[in-house]
Structure 1
Amino acid sequence: MQIKNFLLSGMLCACVIVTNAQNRPDTSVLASNFKPQNPIHEKTLHQSNTTKLVQPSSLRDNEDQRFGTVRGRITTSDGSIAPYVSVVLKGTSFGAISNEDGEYQIRKVPAGEYTIVVSAIGLYPKEKQVTVIGKSTVIADFSLNENLSELDMVQIDGHKKKFKVDKVSPSLRLQSSILEVPQSIKVVTSQLIADQQVFDIVDGVTRNVSGTIRTGHWDAQYANISTRGTSIPAFRNGMNLKMPWGPLADDAATIDRIEFVKGPSGFMMANGEPGGIYNIVTKKPTGENRSSVSLSGGGFNLGRAAVDLDGKLSKDGKLLFRLNLAAQTKGSYNKYNYTDKYIIAPVVSYQIDSNTLITAEYTTQRVEAQALGTYGFSPKGYGDTPPSLFIGDPALDPNKLSDHNVTLYFNHKLNRDWKVNAQVAYVNYELKGGTPWPSKIAANGDMIRYLNISEELAINKNAQLSIQGELKTGPVLHRIMGGIDMGNLKTWGDFTGGNQDIRLTPLNGDQGIFNIYQPRYGIPAANIPIFDRSRSIQVRSGANTYATNLTYTGAYIQDELRFLEEKLRLTLAGRFTHAVTVGKTNATQISDNVFSPRVGLSYSITKDFSAYTLYDQSFLPQSGQDFYGKVFKPVRGNNIEFGLKKDWFDGKWNATASIYKITKKNVLTPDLDHIDPAQNWRVQLGEIESKGIEVDIAGEIVKGLNVVLNYAYTDARVTKDNTTDPAKNLVGSRLANSVKHITNGWLSYRLKEEGSIFNGFGLTGGYQLQLDRFTGSNAREPNLPDYIRFDAGASYEKGKITISALVNNLLDRKLFTQGSYTKLATETATAVSYYTYIYEMPRNARVTIAYRFK
């Protein structure tokens, strides 16, 4: 049935017209455009269209005798849910919008007889007579039929709200809309990802969120994302998958949306950083034919193919599947470097009954990369060497990485108000390879390179159980959620072997030394170290800082109290966490029991304008130990913020502004007294403070023009330093890898005029600016140059086919994603202080052809 595709993909323009059976004056006519975000498949409840009168319980219906409630569920004739449909009682101002489950509820309806009329473009209208009695609830369900003559109108409106989202995914467990939540949350939609031709989480996603950046490191491996001046962990479907080096960067083929939650958010899912989290929501079966295939190509030998299959495994639609496949090969601006990968992600769901859904998901990624990072080095300054400089060698074995993620979900509705969710996840991440690195650099560019083992293994296990719903006490509505979550993270790493140099065949008296200004390649096999891998990585890493074992159990509860006809919302929440960090011996084992409170207040000044304030805390156990074998204390943080949120023009676009102050204690920083690349010793710095201002705008500003605009001012400084040496004390210095001013913009315009030769033609483009960038392990050292980048592209959409082209870094500027400065206490003729940096990709183009099967 065609209409459900539009209902579930956001191509629904719903209109409801109402009159009162008691001849009350017609006070409202509602005609709005609605677009569902991240729909969740659920089969029909198989209920008839009859109206049922349900006597209320003492808790639920404590209203005055003059008022009652009308509620129900809207589906299409084949049983698919119909979200974001408007429902209004004829001739009155009473109405509601169906949620992602197709459910609606109208409270405080005066006793009397009414007519409900539900109509939508693409659906035949339907009416139903109801009688409302004081202190009662009337249940009125609707099943709507398809109107083929109006499908074209649905298609015309299909691109509305493609950059704006009104609600978060169920994995965040928040029941209220983003407009009402007392927290800054930004969602990067799959439509925006496709518009920017983003192929993974490393590929420029952070440009869409204020105050958020990615620091380059091992880009073939994982994303290193920061917001509000602090690093934030990677979540996947609401589960904390943060590892010291992973998980592998999520591929766009598996991503439905990315949710950036600002500030502490551990109460919702698991322990987190005070700066926030980013949550990858993976694609799930919808029961609709959303299958597609795409082919991409571009500069630096980029080639990519992706297939998305979405459909039914049983005729009754209870057993569904989704399969995403992708393969990609990509060269590099680094000479001889490359990254090849493939992704397989099957998902199966089964609807046991109308209230119970189980889902099983498996994702695997395999990556082969000649080098994990693309570092440049120079004794003179940032960008002194060209992007093509590669300190590795094609004679060295490539690095091989793999990531396996299995997740099981259980979703059950206890009744119309309460539901239970449970999920368990297992992640196994592994790297095997080697990493070349300089041991010293001379002023003339001569570099002595050594080769380390690069071997990692991480096993992350998570389990969550939550319950959420609502109840009423007098005039106050409570939206309650609570639950427990448990996790265990074990990691092992071996980066030894740093004393084994790798040298070229001597030529012209150069003694086989690699020179960064005149690089030669081709290391003889006899000069390549052979590492002893006969012992398992668990044994080899047992004696160094890379062996960790962290276990936690948390319990939380939150009550959102809604007053004054739900205009005022008070959030009270708390979390108790028990965490155990295991060190090398029992003497270095740390056990923590911590309570983290949360208080938020949100008020709707108008129906589309709200103000909020928030105070919350975070707690995050840290793995590893210092040079002396002492296990690190957990990160403690708190956040206070104020903000305004406004929807404009019937919710087509949204603006959010916030100010915040975050304090973070027990921060880790490199141990400058014990520099050893094979061990990566760290110390706990003390305390940092980050404060700033953020503004985000997203949505359709005018017809056909969708935009994302943001600006952030971030002041992140060290406020306490445990170092007693005044020369090394960093109090007052800027936080390394923070940026003072960040602003980004992205515009996408598509012409929709039937009969025009330009119908379906689109233009897109954007900018990124980062000013005052602080670098490396010691932010007192030279800063990175400003980051200024422009992109532009065009596309054409005709029926099921879309062709798009994009040029990134249009001005071909030298851009850097990271930089640091290694200052030696004593310089010699063969060893001087040097700069380390990672280039952004030079100017490059991408072209994608996509075909949708329906």
Structure 2
Amino acid sequence: MQIKRIVLSSFLCAAVLSATAQGNSSNFTASVLARKAVTSTNDAQQYGSVRGRITTSDGSIAPYVSVALKGTAFGAMTNEDGEYQIKRVPEGEYTLVVSAVGLFPKEKQVRITSKSTVVVDFSLNENSSELDMVQIDGHKKKFKVDKVSPSLRLQSPLLEVPQNIRVVTSAVLSDQQVFDIVDGVTRNVSGTVRTGHWDAQYANISTRGTSIPAFRNGMNLKTPWGPLADDAATIDRIEFIKGPSGFMMANGEPGGIYNVVTKKPTGENRSFLTLAAGGFGLGRAAIDLDGKLSKDGKLLYRFNVAAQAKNSYNKYNYTDKYVIAPVISYEIDSNTKFTLEYTTQHVEALALGTYGFSPKGYADTDPSLFIGDPALDPAKLYDHNVTLYLNHRLNDTWKLNGQVAYLNYGLEGGTPWPSTIAPNGDMIRYLNISEELAINRNAQFSIMGDLKTGNVIHRLMGGLDMGLLKTWGDFGNAINPGSADIRLSPDINNGIFNIYDPRYGIPVANIPVFDRSRSIRHRSGSNTYATELAYTGAYLQDEARFLDERLRLTGAVRFTHAVTVGKTNKAQVSDNVFSPRIGLSYSITDNFSAYTLYDQSFLPVAGQTHEGDPFKPIRGNNIEFGIKKDFFDGKWNVTSAVYKIVKKNQLTSDPRIGPDNPQIQPNASVQLGEQEFKGFELDINGEVLNGLNVILNYAYTDARTTKDLNPNAATNQKGAYAPNSVRHITNGWLSYRLRKPGAILDGFGLTGGYQLLLDRFAGRGARKPNLPDFIRFDAGATYEKGKLAVSVLVNNLLDRRLITQGSYTPVAKETPTSVSYYTYIYDMPRNARLSLTYRFK
């Protein structure tokens, strides 16, 4: 109860902060009143708008540039893509002025006519004398962005999009000393959590109570276990799209997707080197090189390399990895550009499993417990991702984009696992082969632009996407020559490993041997892990903009043809599905909008039941309502939403699995009848006061099974909560940076945050919270001086035993040597990180 009071207090404080900020903004309020007065005076007039894109003389984009109509209160600032738009301008003739520190200003005469949009682009020359003294200050929106990346193909600002989309920028990742996507990223997004699995090699992220797939640059690269968790060295931003997104983003879960946008060349020298060290033997080096390969700025490059080594809180375990990511882009002419990108990751880990086990309860054993052994070979993982992009501007309003991607992911290793656990902690271990190969091919083509009919502007988007995913896997038992006993056992105590008194050092003769004499493709051909899924989808969306673009009605439809290749005619499935989408968004004021959305999702499922029946596709529909409000010229934003998702045919473990049914494979699945997810979300992020950037969020999620086709009352899931769902989630992160040129503490900052996960549900059939609350606090400090920046951060300040995942394995008939047990994964114990960054310019 005390923790829940803290949660409520946090958001009361946020509300007070919002009110206080508004109360202390007399200049801002006066500006708004003045603008309203202008609007009132000109009520009888007709309005138009002006928009465009600002670049520098070498073709580079110009973000954070001021654009204004001379002698009026109308103006805007370019976003990260150099784009601007000024709305509701009374018709007439104006002088458009563009200016920024380090660039020579320019002026153009424009004539605004009734209910029309004038497109005015600028190319600005650099002012080298100013550049030597002042650098353009882009830190003001480091926690907030106004538009999504081009990979999502949404042309409207986030404030106008009828959907809840949260963007985590690279500046946020740096501020939180995040080194990969599983490293606390979900704290920045309401209702979003990561379920621990396999030593954090995979993201395994859920939002709104459902698991969501991994996208890279707008393409679905999810494989059964991968792709590998994206390294921060390659990440420009991470976009979390709440609710179904299949109408244009290919097939996906109704809860949403997350889209990792990788770093691309900017044409500016933003190169830097980072060295980091920390607890549990962490050592890391990363370099980001960004520049031009030709003097005219048409041929650009970006090159990221990172290497990292770290031990684990598990005894003997470790993870070493390296990442290489070169990118080149070439501008054929002012309208056409192609980009070629390659990313590869290589990981070596002594054991994938960092699980704890106990017959007594969650978090019973010490985090150092390791059920593997230093005598075992490490697991090795990799992925290779190649993507080619082509972007062409047909004219001022229409764009054509195409991209193709290839992902090759692989795993080779072994996984120790308990066979039995006794009440006193005696465990019999066995070793599974763990090997997988996945090849994912994708292609996307889209066209978008504006078309005007009468007084209505139609923001049109259409496209085609195709994908082919093939996977092979082998997770069977190892072979121990000369013996049917495949147990892992130190040659002591009759082969018993005790979780409360672990002893290590398995003799070589006792280590099982994996049979890899045949390729993974051959071995997988006889099991359920060999799958093939192909799809082709076409979509069309029209965002009709009425009433001087204040009212926006979105209608979209997607057709998907999906084929799941089975080993029998019965298991071969072909689906043809139409998925509609309807959205409505209205701008109550220029910085305050409300929206509603109805959307559907479709996700074909590979594999089959124990009886050989193919799985039906997962279907979902979502209806939500939300409001969005920008404060102080867009420096910070509040977004709130309520939603209800109905999901059909969700996979779950076959309830017959167990010692009483040895013929049922341990990985066998069945499909539930229907699940319902409903909740409330609140997100606050941006610069609320000068130098103070804030992320605050809260989500209430109710995720339950409402129908179950299973006739067995003992295992029927109706009324049970979705596994790993959390009823209450709230996160906060504050970052304050002192900006006083000439002062001793100029560049000094403090950072810190909290994560609270309350009322958590683990495993199948949970009808009340059964996982411990997750309560974590972090704090740190930073200092920037010239080209150098130093940051220190302490995570999990209270050194609590935090659980990121939990499950319960029942034993049908308990014996003195075999009882039911709990499985769980710890979050990192208290640890510190120190980073040193040098920027080359």
Q: With structure 1 as the length reference, what TM-score do the two structures score?
A: 0.89
Whether contact under 8 Å (1:184, 1:262) holds in the other structure is yes
Whether contact under 8 Å (1:502, 1:523) holds in the other structure is no
Whether contact under 8 Å (2:637, 2:685) holds in the other structure is yes
Q: Cα 1:78–1:539, aligned 2, differ >3 Å: closer, same or farther?
A: closer
Whether contact under 8 Å (1:325, 1:345) holds in the other structure is yes
Partner of 1:206: 186
Q: Which amino acid aligns with 1:686?
A: G
Choose which of 369, 375, 378 in structure 2 pairs with 1:398: 378
Whether contact under 8 Å (2:270, 2:840) holds in the other structure is yes
Partner of 1:496: 476
Residues 438-486 of structure 1: per-residue CA shift (max 9 Å, x gap): 0111111111111110000000000000000011111111111110000
The 5 A counterparts of 1:538-549 are: 538-549=521-532
Partner of 2:6: none
**Cα offset, 1:156, TM superposition:** 8.1
Q: What secondary structure, in the 3-state scheme, does the structure 2 residue paired with 1:533 have? A: coil
Distance 1:255 1:532 in 2: 38
* 1:423 pairs with 2:403: yes
Partner of 1:271: 251
* 1:671 pairs with 2:671: no
* 1:256 pairs with 2:241: no
Residues 698-717 of structure 1: per-residue CA shift (max 9 Å, x gap): 00111111010000000000
Q: Cα 1:172–1:69, aligned 2, differ >3 Å: closer, same or farther?
A: closer
Whether contact under 8 Å (1:584, 1:629) holds in the other structure is no
* 1:605 pairs with 2:588: yes
Q: What secondary structure, in the 3-state scheme, does the structure 1 residue paired with 2:524 have? A: helix
Partner of 2:141: 161
Q: Which amino acid aligns with 1:90?
A: K
* 1:772 pairs with 2:759: yes
Q: What secondary structure, in the 3-state scheme, does the structure 1 residue paired with 2:388 have? A: strand
**Cα offset, 1:102, TM superposition:** 3.9
* 1:171 pairs with 2:151: yes
Q: Cα 1:27–1:805, aligned 2, differ >3 Å: closer, same or farther?
A: closer
Distance 2:819 2:151 in 1: 51
Q: What secondary structure, in the 3-state scheme, does the structure 2 residue paired with 1:689 have? A: strand
**Cα offset, 1:106, TM superposition:** 5.9
**Cα offset, 1:312, TM superposition:** 1.1
The 5 A counterparts of 1:400-479 are: 400-479=380-459
Partner of 1:707: 694
Which has the higher mean CA deviation after the structures are superposed, 526-535 or 759-768? 526-535
The 5 A counterparts of 1:523-542 are: 523-542=506-525
**Cα offset, 1:829, TM superposition:** 1.1
Q: Cα 1:98–1:629, aligned 2, differ >3 Å: closer, same or farther?
A: same
Q: Which amino acid aligns with 2:442?
A: N
The 5 A counterparts of 1:348-427 are: 348-427=328-407
* 1:683 pairs with 2:666: no
Residues 489-508 of structure 1: per-residue CA shift (max 9 Å, x gap): 1111101116753343443x
Distance 2:738 2:556 in 1: 47
Q: Cα 1:133–1:217, aligned 2, differ >3 Å: closer, same or farther?
A: closer
Partner of 1:294: 274
Choose which of 564, 567, 570 in structure 1 pairs with 2:553: 570
**Cα offset, 1:307, TM superposition:** 0.6
Distance 2:674 2:115 in 1: 55
Q: What secondary structure, in the 3-state scheme, does the structure 1 residue paired with 2:525 have? A: helix
Whether contact under 8 Å (1:229, 1:690) holds in the other structure is yes
**Cα offset, 1:574, TM superposition:** 0.6
Partner of 1:20: none
**Cα offset, 1:87, TM superposition:** 3.1
**Cα offset, 1:158, TM superposition:** 3.7
Whether contact under 8 Å (2:214, 2:221) holds in the other structure is yes
Distance 1:744 1:431 in 2: 34
Residues 244-276 of structure 1: per-residue CA shift (max 9 Å, x gap): 100000000000000000000011221110000
Q: Cα 1:89–1:754, aligned 2, differ >3 Å: closer, same or farther?
A: closer
Partner of 2:68: 88
The 5 A counterparts of 1:47-126 are: 73-92=53-72, 95=75, 97-98=77-78, 102=82, 113-126=93-106
Distance 1:260 1:534 in 2: 43
**Cα offset, 1:118, TM superposition:** 2.3
Residues 336-395 of structure 1: per-residue CA shift (max 9 Å, x gap): 100000000000111001100001000000000011120010101111110010000011
Whether contact under 8 Å (1:27, 1:91) holds in the other structure is no
Partner of 1:752: 739
Choose which of 790, 798, 801 in structure 2 pairs with 1:814: 801
Name the Cα RMSD after superposition.
Answer: 2.4
Q: Cα 1:92–1:372, aligned 2, differ >3 Å: closer, same or farther?
A: same
Q: Cα 1:28–1:152, aligned 2, differ >3 Å: closer, same or farther?
A: farther
Distance 2:605 2:738 in 1: 51
Q: Cα 1:671–1:526, aligned 2, differ >3 Å: closer, same or farther?
A: same
Distance 1:704 1:560 in 2: 37
Q: Cα 1:848–1:678, aligned 2, differ >3 Å: closer, same or farther?
A: farther
Q: Cα 1:519–1:355, aligned 2, differ >3 Å: closer, same or farther?
A: same
**Cα offset, 1:78, TM superposition:** 3.7
Q: Cα 1:443–1:794, aligned 2, differ >3 Å: closer, same or farther?
A: same
Distance 2:631 2:87 in 1: 25
Distance 2:653 2:693 in 1: 43
Whether contact under 8 Å (1:264, 1:616) holds in the other structure is yes
Choose which of 611, 625, 641 in structure 1 pairs with 2:608: 625
* 1:732 pairs with 2:712: no
* 1:833 pairs with 2:820: yes
Partner of 1:581: 564
**Cα offset, 1:755, TM superposition:** 2.2
Which has the higher mean CA deviation after the structures are superposed, 533-542 or 357-366? 533-542
Which has the higher mean CA deviation after the structures are superposed, 84-93 or 360-369? 84-93
**Cα offset, 1:734, TM superposition:** 1.2
Which has the higher mean CA deviation after the structures are superposed, 404-413 or 541-550? 541-550
Q: Cα 1:594–1:290, aligned 2, differ >3 Å: closer, same or farther?
A: same
**Cα offset, 1:108, TM superposition:** 7.7
Partner of 1:648: 631
Distance 2:179 2:599 in 1: 34
Choose which of 789, 793, 806 in structure 1 pairs with 2:776: 789
Partner of 1:23: none
Q: What secondary structure, in the 3-state scheme, does the structure 2 residue paired with 1:258 have? A: strand
**Cα offset, 1:133, TM superposition:** 7.5
Q: What secondary structure, in the 3-state scheme, does the structure 1 residue paired with 2:457 have? A: strand
Q: Cα 1:29–1:303, aligned 2, differ >3 Å: closer, same or farther?
A: farther
Q: Cα 1:527–1:694, aligned 2, differ >3 Å: closer, same or farther?
A: same
Distance 2:668 2:722 in 1: 19
Residues 76-128 of structure 1: per-residue CA shift (max 9 Å, x gap): 34443324534333344555554655455667866654333222333333333
**Cα offset, 1:583, TM superposition:** 1.6
Q: What secondary structure, in the 3-state scheme, does the structure 2 residue paired with 1:267 have? A: helix
Whether contact under 8 Å (2:101, 2:135) holds in the other structure is no
Q: Cα 1:496–1:566, aligned 2, differ >3 Å: closer, same or farther?
A: same
Distance 2:775 2:115 in 1: 62
Q: With structure 2 as the length reference, what TM-score do the two structures score?
A: 0.91
Distance 2:745 2:129 in 1: 24
Q: What secondary structure, in the 3-state scheme, does the structure 2 residue paired with 1:366 have? A: strand
Residues 409-434 of structure 1: per-residue CA shift (max 9 Å, x gap): 00001111101000000000000111
* 1:720 pairs with 2:700: no
Q: Which amino acid aligns with 2:286?
A: A
Distance 1:106 1:607 in 2: 10
Partner of 1:660: 643
Distance 1:330 1:177 in 2: 41
Q: What secondary structure, in the 3-state scheme, does the structure 1 residue paired with 2:405 have? A: strand
* 1:319 pairs with 2:299: yes
Where do 5+ consecutive residues of structure 1 fail to align?
A: 1-25, 31-63
Choose which of 788, 801, 805 in structure 1 pairs with 2:788: 801
